[in-house]
């Protein structure tokens, strides 16, 4: 159950509902438009996250309202991560601090031992969490391929192929991703149906968004999830089986995914990574440049 929250006089609060996803998107968009050179959020991000069978929207969220208008929100993912946003017009009233304490109380009630969230380095959210005693857990970076550049081609080993994943392979794609991510991410394995909700059932998903490398036996050994916005192809997840690394599979997927994005109208190519993966050097080596830096701060409960 979501913990209670104390909000400034004149405002109200309540747990959110799935139909509040658009209002949450608008609050996050307002915050990112203020804090970043350009916003990154898409409404589909929220809709798909909240559609996970294992996610209790009412028990894991809170909204702060000025009349009928949502002006701030917070949520707990159940994996030691929270997210929050405050409309910049409502900053300086203690809402962010109230949301931070709500996150701690809600996560503690869920049995979590730590809670944290990412913010752009130096942003109001980052400064607030630092002042509240949150420590840096890791950094993450947004990267973009400069205009006119392309990732250098790297041939696959003999018998390997890169292509769109077939629906019958989605369980293999999920396994490759989770096995790789759990090498450095301290959380439980994401259930397959939650993975499907976030990716396959995400609004706008097309089968060509999931790219894979298969070995000579037809086994999925590397995967990439490509999202396409109006003009940008964004690789949201990239993973390779441990025993297959160092053979150029990830680089081949980068080439394939960005070429696929361009074929569908994208003019920009982006991805993100964080300090836990050790992959920043790989992306910089193939010509990508850091465009934003985020700090994930956490606090023990």
Q: Is the pLDDT of residue 76 over 80?
A: yes
Three-state secondary-structure class, residue 47: helix
Per-residue tokens: 40? 């990154």
Task: Quick: pLDDT tens for 201-233.
Answer: 999 999 999 999 999 999 999 999 999 988 999
**What is the share, in percent, of the chain residues with pLDDT greater than 90?**
96
**DSSP assignment string, 184-211:** T--SPPPPHHHHHHHTTTSTT--GGGEE
d(CA 91, CA 93): 6
Averaged pLDDT for residues 12-33: 98
**What is the share, in percent, of the chain residues with pLDDT greater than 70?**
100
* Alpha-carbon distances of 2 from 59, 100, 135, 194, 286, rounded to whole Å: 5, 13, 24, 21, 45
> Confidence class of residue 5 from pLDDT cuts 50, 70 and 90?
very high
Give the per-residue pLDDT at 145.
Answer: 97
Q: Is the pLDDT of residue 236 over 90?
A: yes
Q: Is the pLDDT of residue 109 over 80?
A: yes
Three-state secondary-structure class, residue 175: helix
Q: Is the pLDDT of residue 157 over 80?
A: yes
Give the per-residue pLDDT at 226.
Answer: 98
pTM of the predicted model, to two decimals? 0.94
> Confidence class of residue 78 from pLDDT cuts 50, 70 and 90?
confident
d(CA 181, CA 179): 6
Averaged pLDDT for residues 40-61: 96
**Sign (positive or negative) of CA dihedral 184, 85, 126, 287:** positive
Three-state secondary-structure class, residue 154: coil
Residue matched to tokens 């298969």: 214
> Confidence class of residue 1 from pLDDT cuts 50, 70 and 90?
low
Give the per-residue pLDDT at 246.
Answer: 95
Give the per-residue pLDDT at 186.
Answer: 86
CB 285, CB 154: distance < 8 Å: no
Task: Quick: pLDDT tens for 164-191.
Answer: 999 999 999 999 999 999 999 988 999 9
Closest residue by Cα to residue 201 from 210, 190, 214: 210
């Amino acid at each position: 159950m979501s913990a209670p929250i104390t909000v400034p006089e004149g405002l109200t609060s309540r747990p959110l509902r799935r139909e509040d996803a658009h209002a949450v998107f608008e609050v996050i968009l307002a915050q990112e438009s203020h804090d970043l050179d350009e916003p990154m959020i898409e409404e589909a991000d929220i809709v798909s996250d909240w559609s996970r069978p294992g996610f209790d929207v009412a028990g894991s969220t809170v909204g702060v309202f000025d009349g009928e208008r949502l002006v701030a929100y917070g949520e707990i993912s159940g994996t030691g991560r929270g997210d929050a946003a405050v409309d910049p017009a409502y900053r300086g009233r203690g809402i962010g601090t109230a949301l931070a304490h709500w996150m701690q109380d809600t996560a503690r009630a869920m049995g979590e031992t730590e809670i944290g969230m990412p913010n752009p380095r130096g942003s109001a959210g980052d400064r607030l969490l630092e002042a509240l005693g949150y420590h840096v857990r890791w950094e993450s970076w947004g990267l973009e391929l400069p205009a006119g550049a392309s990732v250098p081609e790297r041939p696959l080993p003999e018998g390997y192929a890169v292509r769109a994943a077939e629906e019958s392979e989605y369980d293999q794609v999920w396994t490759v991703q989770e096995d790789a991510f759990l090498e450095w991410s301290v959380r439980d394995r994401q259930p397959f149906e939650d993975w499907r909700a976030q990716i396959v059932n995400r609004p706008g998903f097309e089968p060509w968004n999931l790219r894979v490398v298969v070995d000579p036996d037809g086994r999925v050994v590397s995967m990439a999830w490509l999202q396409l916005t109006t003009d940008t192809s964004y690789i949201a997840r990239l993973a390779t089986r441990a025993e297959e690394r160092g053979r150029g599979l990830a680089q081949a997927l980068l080439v394939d995914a960005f070429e696929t994005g361009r074929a569908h109208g994208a003019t920009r190519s982006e991805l993100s990574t964080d300090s836990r993966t050790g992959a920043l050097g790989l992306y910089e080596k193939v010509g990508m440049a850091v465009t934003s830096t985020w700090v994930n701060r956490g606090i023990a409960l």
